[in-house]
Structure 1
């Protein structure tokens, strides 16, 4: 679809276009949060299945520093995209 046709759809229905963008951000952020949580749970399950349950009790964290940083980044980015989704959805009600 040419860019001019997309622009005309936006001009005809601006609130619906912003809600569609908000839905995209919401789905992407929710998927990212869910995928990060599942990845963390699988890593813990792998440690427990490998016989590292005693080691896991002694240590506070199973993950190394780079893994913790990337998980923290994914959580922040996921929550930021959900916040952007909420802001776009609220903004579309003003149009």
Structure 2
């Protein structure tokens, strides 16, 4: 039996393992987005302090919209991870 066929049969016998793996994938991506956004916002504040006030306001609004988007996507990923993990306990 080929290794891929053996792996496929193993995963078909253990669907909870597949769901937990997918939940782990989403959790890693969501947490990475949150951490990267936090680092980006702290570096952005330092960068904006050196700019003139007129351009600083526009850049601040743009950065806040981008940060909200990244936090939202990270929250969706973490919620999906939690949901998949809870579903995998019922399988």
TM-score greater than 0.5 by the shorter chain: yes
In the alignment, is residue 74 of structure 1 matched against residue 75 of structure 2?
no
Is the 8 Å Cα contact of residues 44 and 62 (structure 1) preserved in structure 2?
Answer: no
Task: Identify the residue that residue 47 of structure 1 maps to in structure 2.
Answer: 48
Indicate the structure with greater helix content.
2
Cα distance between partner residues in 2 of 1:40 and 1:93: 37
Unaligned runs of 5+ in 1: none
Could you state the TM-score of these two structures normalised by the residue count of structure 2? 0.77
When the two chains are superposed, the root-mean-square deviation of aligned CA atoms in Å is 2.4
State the number of aligned residues: 87
CA apart distance, 1:5: 5.6
Report the TM-score, using the length of structure 1 for normalisation: 0.74
